[in-house]
Structure 1
Amino acid sequence: MDQNRNYRGRSEFKPYPIRNPEEPGGNFRSLNENDTVGPPPSYAPYLASDTDILKAAEIMTTYIYGESSNDNDKEIQCDLLTEDGGHEIDPTRLSYKERIRWHLKEFCYKTSSHGIPMLGQAPNTAYRIVWILLLSGCAFTFVYQAIAVVDKYYRMDKITDIQLKFDTAPFPAITLCNLNPYRDSKIRDEESINKILSVFKKMMKKAAGAADLEELEHAVEEGKFSLKLNRKRRETESKGSFEPANSVCNCEDDECEADAPKIPTDSDQMCICAFDRLTHDAWPCHPRELWLNTTCQHCDDHKFCQKRSKTGERHNAPCLCEKGESFCMMYDRVAKILNLWEFFGSSFDYNAEVSDEETEALGFGNMTDEVAIVTKAKENIIFAMSALSEQQRRAMSQAKHNLIHKCSFNGKPCDIDKDFAIISDPTFGNCFTFNYNRSDFKSSLRAGPMYGLRVMLFVNASDYLPTSEAVGVRLTIHDKDEFPFPDTFGYSAPTGYISSFGMRMKKMSRLPAPYGDCIAEGATSNYVYKGYTYSTEGCYRTCFQQLIIDRCGCGDPRFPSIGHHQHCQVFNKEHRKKAHGHASLIGALGLTVTPTCFTRTALNTNRPCIMGLAPYEFKQVGVTDGSNGPISVAWLRPFFHHDNTHPSFPGTCLEQSTHELGDIHGSFKCRCQQPCNQTIYTMSYSEAIWPSQSLNITLGTCEEEPEICNEQYQENAAMLEVFYEALNFETLTESEAYGVVKMLADFGGQLGLWSGVSFMTCCEFVCLGCELLYMVIMHHWKKYKFKKHEEDNNFQ
């Protein structure tokens, strides 16, 4: 240090304090008047660098600020501390603002962040400006990139991974239904069904043109209107055969005339006839007691028998002979005798009395289209059957063993009783599900039809309802945890063909919120298909049923009911046809479309009721105000289109609600998400004529010639094959495209690129913030305590 250095702007020379070696510790002392002012003695240091600065600093810190003997000592102490660049200052002895400044400067020197130390050590203002601009630009760029990274994360993007797995795929559940929901011979005794089919018969006759009316009546009499198979009958009568058959007869003495389609109400009305399936001739007919159960020596190919053989050939076949043995026919004592009313099925002989109110409730109106009439009749039957118990409905539909005759899986016979479970469907009646047991895992050993499900079904077309338009079976392939919904997702297979359904399975795994919008597992709380897992179709039906119940007070019979609510009744106008008014709201209020006298006050009084009805029709109507003349009331609109032939046409609740809701799948009122885990089966279909002429199988009681039995199979039976086309399946798995780990990695990369900051650097900033926060809190806390202490002293 230069001894000529001016201190604190003063020009006079101030010598350093003299060290007295005689004093204990060699302490410094201040100059006094008796000391000689001049060059320091030989034992005193001339420069601060030659002085034991650390010792001097230690001595100086032992005295408080006010103990210095003069100002010179204080300046010397500060200068000594300043000159020692290696000395660490105790920040606790600094003032509040100096401590904050000291901490910030120390952080600038020591931080591992790039750029900040350069700013702190900048030698001049120009350097500081340059580094401030660089740091600001990098900080702005980092913030911009960080926002982009965070925005990318919150988009919740996802990717779909598609894999083809070569493994054994679980075999799905297969639900089989007859296209005819209920047996005509069982259901015709139900009064409501009789009424519906009576109206149906009248509507079909009315819709039929004059040209084909005669043909329609012929079909009605035979009971084959909806079952006309248009198959070529045998060309010659020589191929016909006789068999005994029960029928309702009109008898005079011993001779009877068959009334084949009529259902017997009393056993006394019945007789036995020789019936020919080819010509539908029933003759001769006699009371039961006049037929003798005996043995005939000879019977020909037509099952016409002779008590005594004239040719010498003796077969000794069981037969039935009329009294006098003039006519005999072969008779199988084990087989059940044919009932002609069951053979002819529905004869359209429905003549039940139906009131005008009931006819109106059925909703046929002025329909002239046969397809629309059949559709409405099917709907009415569903409504009528919903009023019966499930046990009654099952008894009227086809039984398990009547429908399923032969079955094999993986080349081995099925146990029809154990492998099939019954499901009641409003549209198809009794349906039967194969592989329904959720704890029993079934899989195909190989690909191809031989290692899948093969089943032969007998639909008994002669017992079809007149509303059944097609003959065959309905097949639905689904996961065993889901309800099958055969009316929506099923496939129809015709009789007389072997239908092959090749399957391929896909497994979907979707991400739940926030990445997706799916139902994680199970079912929603109000799901109407109890015992089954959630599906989108079931959700829509649940929502639609709830909307119908809210509007009409009863449920749609096509879906399960909710809670204690009942299904809408078929003949109940308050349920099915909830009348909201006349042909239009104008008529309901006593107005006309033309201007009339109706005050605005009275009109507005009815506004809440008016606005709550028929929201799908808007129309301005001119109305005369008694005081202000003609006005235009925009919110007043008719409910329904006025029909001159039906001036009082009520609106149906179910039909109106369905019309307003439109496609319930697209309705904003029904929000149904996809399930997170779903199994999807795609199908390929092929068919071939079945059975072949060389096939000789037995089914039911058919003991005719093979070609005759084959014809019966072609009209009444179907063969189904359901199998995997290949032993592999696809998996589609959704996963997050940009998760937290990737976001943090990109965030750290941006920090390192633009600021040279790592995680440890972030910790440094956190520590600095904590230190400064602590200093501020403690400063204000001490200030508060000091102020409170002074107030207490002043109070005392």
Structure 2
Amino acid sequence: MRIRTNSSNKPPSPVVDKVNPIPTIAFVSKSKNKFRAMLEEQIEKDRSLTVKERFDIFISETSFTALTKICKAGNIFKQIVWLILVLAMLSWLCIQCFWLFEKYLSYPYEVKIELKSSQKMEFPSVTVCNRNPIRRSRFENSPFNAPEFKGLFEVWQNSQLYDKAVKSMKNQTKERYDGDGGSSEEDTYVMSQMKNNSINVWSALSDPVTAAAFYKTEDQEMVATFGYATIAANMDQSELKSYGHQIEDFLVSCRFRGMPCSPQNFTFVPNVKYGNCFTFNAFNNSQDPLYSTYSGPLMGLSLELNVQQYEYMPALAQDAAVRVLVHTRGTFPALEDDGFSIPVGFMTSVGLKVTEITRLTPPHASCATEGTIENLYQTRYGVIYEKSTCTKTCQQNIWKEKCGCVVPLYEKPENSSVCDCMNHEEQACLWEKMDQMQECELMCPNPCIEKKFEPLISMGTWPSKHYEDYLDYKIQHSSLDFMGDDKIDSDDNLAKVEVYFREMMYETIEQQKAYESQNLISDVGGQLGLWLGLSAVTIGEMFEFIMAIFKAVTAKAVRRRNRETAVESLEDCHRRLSLQEFK
């Protein structure tokens, strides 16, 4: 057989694949010059494509189905129908995307509530105060008994309604009463007539003058409390402490997790209403925080307290009790706002449920670790940030600016005077400016992390009859008030409280972002794919097509400019030759 050979040394022409425009032989050829020549040839061919040719290639290869349907429709009617459908779907897509972006920019959040268990839980701070702020034995030589405050802490009898009702009934029965037994007999007759006619003291309010005077009468306890707070606000804390009940007299017995504790485990905290208060497990007592590993009263705090009722001021303390507040360690105990009272003669059991709250920062929510103003409670007591203390500071600043004085129930700012509770003009100013306190809401956001203790309170008679003798023996050897012949009655002075965790579990309330950027991208991508059949690949194809069109237009402009430059060069050369021939 005769084999035909190619007389030429040239390699066979490469076969160009329409899918892959670069010949395969180019990758196996050993000649770099040939490979480069083929690449340049292919690049030049790609540059020579017109815009229409590039558009046709894009339509045949793109995954943009809606555009393909319009361009490849068989007739003009189908093209119009597909165009209308695509425009309708595009409009609805824009509406859907607008709603999605509106939802995203509203920064919604959801609240997740979960119940968690723990093997060890941090025990809260427990603040206790005697209901009576001033000891009677110290009142006589104190600033509270100054001449200008004479009668402020005394209880007076207000019987204006009773007197008016009796006077009215006497006038009604005067003509019918014909006895001569004197005023005593007449009073008895008047009382019987009032009972028979179901007339009580409230009947006196039918008289406008009596009603007007009655509704302007201030409560005695409120006046005495404001008076105490006003005087105390201008006193040194050490001096103020000396007039109140002392922890050594107040505390009879203390146990935590079955182990004894003492007055050294308590920290003094002044209070504008209750005087001397004392905090167990305080953050600033140079001691480590305390923990509980078991639930129930045996593993909590047990206190036996002596209220010293013989030292009570009746205008300031109308009930014999102990004020108690359970709060997060490091927070300021505002017992005038929160807390509960435990009566004497009872054992009060306080089971705690713990709730941890976690809030989001702006723009989803408005929590912060600090307020926008200086918090007086943080500055003076070193406590952590709380919305309530920040709000009180903000209100004091507004009152100081607008009224020239501040209320005595909140921490007093520097270089400020306390408003007179008996001055009606100053009181009117304070009430009027309460409408401007909305700005404090912006200055004092909620803390990002907060812990709450929800108490479940139950009571029982204490001590029991069989335990009473043992208690008497114990207190006779622990407190001077119960020693000697003049000892006080334990039933009227002792109160017991137990504070503990109900269970070793806590509830978490957490704000979480409900719609984040990844949710927006996913939803927008789903809408694009649902209504127009678009995807991320389609976006890449369109970008590639736009770049190709830009290159084609740019190359065409460059070629036109090159031709114009060449023509100008030829014309210039022709003129020069003509000049030389002429010479």
TM over 0.5: yes
Q: Quick one: structure 1 residues 119 and 558, their matched pair in 2 at CA, closer, same or farther if it must change by over 3 Å?
A: same
What SS does the corresponding residue of 2:292 show, helix, strand or coil?
A: coil
Name the CA distance, whole Å, in 2 between partners of 1:538 and 1:435. Answer: 20
Q: Contact 1:475–1:491 at 8 Å: present in 2 too?
A: yes
What SS does the corresponding residue of 2:450 show, helix, strand or coil?
A: strand
Q: Contact 2:228–2:273 at 8 Å: present in 1 too?
A: no
Instruction: Read off the aligned partner of 2:418 and give its amino acid letter.
Output: C
Shift of 1:399: 2.0
| Residue aligning to 1:43 | none
Shift of 1:789: 13
Q: Quick one: structure 1 residues 670 and 730, their matched pair in 2 at CA, closer, same or farther if it must change by over 3 Å?
A: closer
Structure with the higher helix share, 1 or 2: 2
Show CA shifts across 1:182-221 (max 9, x none).
223224323453336523367x546356999xxxxxxxxx
Name the CA distance, whole Å, in 2 between partners of 1:782 and 1:176. Answer: 93
Shift of 1:367: 7.8
Q: Quick one: structure 1 residues 179 and 102, their matched pair in 2 at CA, closer, same or farther if it must change by over 3 Å?
A: same
1:500 and 2:349 aligned: yes
Name the CA distance, whole Å, in 1 between partners of 2:255 and 2:224. Answer: 37
| Residue aligning to 1:682 | 454
Name the CA distance, whole Å, in 1 between partners of 2:116 and 2:551. Answer: 61
Shift of 1:548: 0.7
1:441 and 2:289 aligned: yes
Show CA shifts across 1:579-630 (max 9, x none).
xxxxxxxxxxxxxxxxxxxxxxxxxxxxxxxxxxxxxxxxxxxxxxxxxxxx
| Residue aligning to 2:138 | 186
Name the larger-Rg structure. Answer: 1
Shift of 1:454: 0.4
Q: Quick one: structure 1 residues 88 and 523, their matched pair in 2 at CA, closer, same or farther if it must change by over 3 Å?
A: closer
1:721 and 2:498 aligned: yes
| Residue aligning to 1:374 | 221
Name the CA distance, whole Å, in 2 between partners of 1:372 and 1:787. Answer: 103
| Residue aligning to 1:195 | 147
- Partner residue of 2:397 out of 524, 527, 546: 546
Q: Contact 1:540–1:664 at 8 Å: present in 2 too?
A: no
Shift of 1:446: 2.0
Name the CA distance, whole Å, in 2 between partners of 1:130 and 1:780. Answer: 37
What SS does the corresponding residue of 2:522 show, helix, strand or coil?
A: helix
- Partner residue of 1:516 out of 365, 382, 385: 365
| Residue aligning to 1:331 | none
Show CA shifts across 1:633-657 (max 9, x none).
xxxxxxxxxxxxxxxxx7422x113
| Residue aligning to 1:425 | 271
Name the CA distance, whole Å, in 2 between partners of 1:88 and 1:127. Answer: 37
| Residue aligning to 1:41 | none
1:90 and 2:90 aligned: no
Instruction: Read off the aligned partner of 1:380 and give its amino acid letter.
Output: G
Shift of 1:719: 0.9
Name the CA distance, whole Å, in 2 between partners of 1:120 and 1:740. Answer: 35
- Partner residue of 2:479 out of 696, 700, 709: 700
1:163 and 2:13 aligned: no
Q: Contact 1:207–1:367 at 8 Å: present in 2 too?
A: no
Name the CA distance, whole Å, in 2 between partners of 1:402 and 1:777. Answer: 96
Q: Quick one: structure 1 residues 366 and 768, their matched pair in 2 at CA, closer, same or farther if it must change by over 3 Å?
A: same
Shift of 1:452: 0.8
| Residue aligning to 1:337 | none
Instruction: Read off the aligned partner of 2:249 and give its amino acid letter.
Output: N
Q: Quick one: structure 1 residues 730 and 789, their matched pair in 2 at CA, closer, same or farther if it must change by over 3 Å?
A: farther
Shift of 1:155: 3.4
Show CA shifts across 1:529-575 (max 9, x none).
1122222322321221111111133332221233x3233265xxxxx
1:568 and 2:418 aligned: yes
| Residue aligning to 2:518 | 741
Show CA shifts across 1:283-339 (max 9, x none).
xxxxxxxxxxxxxxxxxxxxxxxxxxxxxxxxxxxxxxxxxxxxxxxxxxxxxxxxx
Name the CA distance, whole Å, in 1 between partners of 2:400 and 2:301. Answer: 41
Shift of 1:467: 2.0
Instruction: Read off the aligned partner of 2:337 and give its amino acid letter.
Output: T
Name the CA distance, whole Å, in 1 between partners of 2:246 and 2:558. Answer: 90
Instruction: Read off the aligned partner of 1:180 and give its amino acid letter.
Output: N
Instruction: Read off the aligned partner of 2:360 and give its amino acid letter.
Output: L
Shift of 1:372: 0.8
Q: Contact 2:403–2:430 at 8 Å: present in 1 too?
A: no
Show CA shifts across 1:6-39 (max 9, x none).
xxxxxxxxxxxxxxxxxxxxxxxxxxxxxxxxxx
Q: Contact 2:152–2:227 at 8 Å: present in 1 too?
A: no
1:394 and 2:241 aligned: yes
Name the CA distance, whole Å, in 2 between partners of 1:450 and 1:141. Answer: 67
What SS does the corresponding residue of 1:750 show, helix, strand or coil?
A: helix
| Residue aligning to 1:247 | none
Q: How many residues align?
A: 469
Instruction: Read off the aligned partner of 2:416 and give its amino acid letter.
Output: Q
- The 5 A counterparts of 1:199-238 are 199-200=151-152, 204-205=155-156, 207=158
1:555 and 2:406 aligned: yes
Q: Contact 1:207–1:368 at 8 Å: present in 2 too?
A: no
Instruction: Read off the aligned partner of 2:320 and give its amino acid letter.
Output: V
1:758 and 2:535 aligned: yes
Shift of 1:668: 5.7
Q: Quick one: structure 1 residues 778 and 700, their matched pair in 2 at CA, closer, same or farther if it must change by over 3 Å?
A: farther
| Residue aligning to 1:533 | 384
Q: Quick one: structure 1 residues 491 and 398, their matched pair in 2 at CA, closer, same or farther if it must change by over 3 Å?
A: same
Between 1:148-157 and 1:408-417, the stretch displaced more is 148-157
- The 5 A counterparts of 1:56-135 are 90=45, 92-93=47-48, 99-135=50-86
Q: Contact 2:356–2:449 at 8 Å: present in 1 too?
A: yes
Shift of 1:474: 0.7
What SS does the corresponding residue of 2:80 show, helix, strand or coil?
A: helix
Instruction: Read off the aligned partner of 1:733 and give its amino acid letter.
Output: E
1:463 and 2:311 aligned: yes
Name the CA distance, whole Å, in 1 between partners of 2:140 and 2:59. Answer: 98
Q: Quick one: structure 1 residues 788 and 556, their matched pair in 2 at CA, closer, same or farther if it must change by over 3 Å?
A: farther
Q: Quick one: structure 1 residues 769 and 193, their matched pair in 2 at CA, closer, same or farther if it must change by over 3 Å?
A: farther
Name the CA distance, whole Å, in 1 between partners of 2:81 and 2:332. Answer: 73
Unpaired runs of 5+ in structure 2?
1-12, 17-41, 164-211, 573-583
Name the CA distance, whole Å, in 2 between partners of 1:179 and 1:790. Answer: 108
| Residue aligning to 1:140 | 91
Show CA shifts across 1:724-758 (max 9, x none).
12221111122122222222222212222222221
Instruction: Read off the aligned partner of 1:679 and give its amino acid letter.
Output: K
| Residue aligning to 1:304 | none
Q: Quick one: structure 1 residues 210 and 164, their matched pair in 2 at CA, closer, same or farther if it must change by over 3 Å?
A: closer
Q: Contact 1:108–1:117 at 8 Å: present in 2 too?
A: yes
Show CA shifts across 1:455-478 (max 9, x none).
111121212224222222110111
| Residue aligning to 1:652 | 425
Q: Quick one: structure 1 residues 769 and 449, their matched pair in 2 at CA, closer, same or farther if it must change by over 3 Å?
A: same
Name the CA distance, whole Å, in 2 between partners of 1:773 and 1:405. Answer: 91
Instruction: Read off the aligned partner of 1:188 and give its amino acid letter.
Output: E
| Residue aligning to 2:125 | 173
Show CA shifts across 1:67-93 (max 9, x none).
xxxxxxxxxxxxxxxxxxxx9983644
Once superposed, what is the RMSD of the aligned Cα atoms?
3.8
Q: Contact 1:501–1:721 at 8 Å: present in 2 too?
A: yes
| Residue aligning to 1:153 | 104
Q: Quick one: structure 1 residues 201 and 133, their matched pair in 2 at CA, closer, same or farther if it must change by over 3 Å?
A: closer
| Residue aligning to 1:23 | none
Q: Contact 2:126–2:325 at 8 Å: present in 1 too?
A: yes
Q: Quick one: structure 1 residues 177 and 744, their matched pair in 2 at CA, closer, same or farther if it must change by over 3 Å?
A: same
Q: Contact 1:476–1:489 at 8 Å: present in 2 too?
A: yes
- Partner residue of 1:473 out of 312, 316, 322: 322
Q: Quick one: structure 1 residues 158 and 669, their matched pair in 2 at CA, closer, same or farther if it must change by over 3 Å?
A: closer
1:767 and 2:544 aligned: yes
Q: Contact 2:399–2:433 at 8 Å: present in 1 too?
A: no
Q: Quick one: structure 1 residues 783 and 393, their matched pair in 2 at CA, closer, same or farther if it must change by over 3 Å?
A: farther
